[in-house]
Chains A and B, each alone.
Chain A
């Protein structure tokens, strides 16, 4: 499994309120949520993002509330993977459970810049920045994790098992 796209780069402590502001939580429709994704810190994100693009951030991405709406909004906006130095624990679980691939890699999160063309190989964990030619080693996803992601989340994964 691979992902490749243009990078949107953010800093430390991107919280769930920034990812999807609480004023939009009266909807749980992923498309509706995606139309407001990141708007409080990056008004252009929704206009510019294309299917397959990649989000890169620094420390503690997804901190704040435990709302599953946050990873849902990111995923529905077309983002194929989030790379960060670290993720907040509940966001991490929620992301995997709804089928949004996330990778922790300090070096990549430091070096990659907005607009870079980046590719991630989930089998090997290798992250390649095609713009700069640099490669980084993130953690490969074990097989069951790849299955959760490729079946679009934990519930579908369990359903498809039978």
Chain B
């Protein structure tokens, strides 16, 4: 029987000619990732192992992104613990203040993940790298510790849901709307245990940044990973960002899928997830007019250069509404620099938005934009659970950069075509 793209990557890394859905395998890892929250826990676990050092100092990436520059003493202690570990183990890819960016934007940009890789990260949005045709998934700190020590992880081979994309997105509609639409359709556990495999003619029209956004939120559909086929755009991206060798895997023509959906991209509208679950989606016509207090444009989902360009296009020459705060967070230092060179930061600041150094910040209610009781935020982030961005009685509405920027101008949820 044929294998899906994910199954082929897993089989290769397990040294097997074939795997089936449900098989338990041990696979070799190309990269193990951790951040400033999860790595300290993994370091504790590693201390209980009688393994000396790490499996490969070049294949571990430690990214200090959630609370840096450190927001308080506790977060500073955490980073200190990771910094010392990175130093004593001579970890090549340790990213601290000044080099760091949000992990899932940073690793592809640094060329640390490429097509065909098998990657685990102690962070649920590790599934982002599926945009490059890699298998990547989020795990716990024990798995991360074991991964760092041995370079291996066990997996249960997932089945897959195939999303056949056709057509092209209309103006102001982007990758974020595609994935919110899908989550609204299948629900937050719709893809539990399984891969989301994206295929079809429509894929070619999606930018790499759109694909990162879509793969990033596969986890919000319950999926183990999301994955895109490798095409010219993927190869061009990988060549521009590093020298690491890549391998292209394709699903077998007779691969079996648990479910299949066809989505005509041209029919999609701007989509917004209402509190308190990503599956509570409404289209812009149903959502517009609702009063907001804050707009956040950033995160591992939507802090890339395409996202900032779209937001700047909308905010250019306009002003953020009175009683509204607009917070823009480029996801990495390179994106920050590029946005500066393109004049985007000037547009944001002149409009009355603030621009922050790269950080997860408000996405998980850490700092840099916490909501008070009763406040509402239109946000390009990925989770709108109760209390995610602050007070338990505050609300997060997930949307694309275009909608978040348009709403910043008016102070209510707004169709970007109407500003």
Residues of A near any B CB (own CB < 8 A): 60, 66, 68, 86, 88-90, 92-94, 96-98, 104, 139, 141-142, 144-145, 148, 154-155, 158-159, 162
Contacts and interface: CB of A to CB of B under 8 A. Distances in A.
Interface of B: 22-26, 45, 48-51, 139-140, 142-143, 145-146, 149-150, 154, 156, 189, 192-193, 222, 224
Contacts of B139: 93
A97 B192 contact: no
Nearest to B46: A155
Most buried by B among A88, A90, A93, A96: A93
B50 A159 contact: yes
B224 A89 contact: yes
A158 B150 contact: yes
A158 B224 contact: no
A142 B193 CA distance: 19
B205 to A, nearest CB: 32
Contact of B140 (A86, A97, A104): A97
Contact of A96 (B22, B25, B154): B154
B193 A148 contact: no
22 contacts: A68-B140, A86-B192, A86-B193, A89-B193, A89-B222, A89-B224, A90-B140, A93-B143, A97-B140, A97-B142, A97-B143, A97-B146, A139-B22, A139-B24, A144-B154, A148-B154, A154-B142, A154-B143, A155-B48, A155-B145, A158-B149, A162-B51
B22 A154 contact: no
B154 A94 contact: no
Contacts of B143: 93, 97, 154
Given A145-B154, A148-B154, A155-B145, A94 B49 contact: no
A66 B122 CA distance: 12
Contacts of A90: 140
B192 A158 contact: no
A142 B45 contact: no
A98 B145 CA distance: 13
A155 B49 contact: yes
Given A89-B192, A139-B22, A145-B24, A154 B140 contact: no
A117 B53 CA distance: 46
A78 B10 CA distance: 34
A139 B301 CA distance: 37
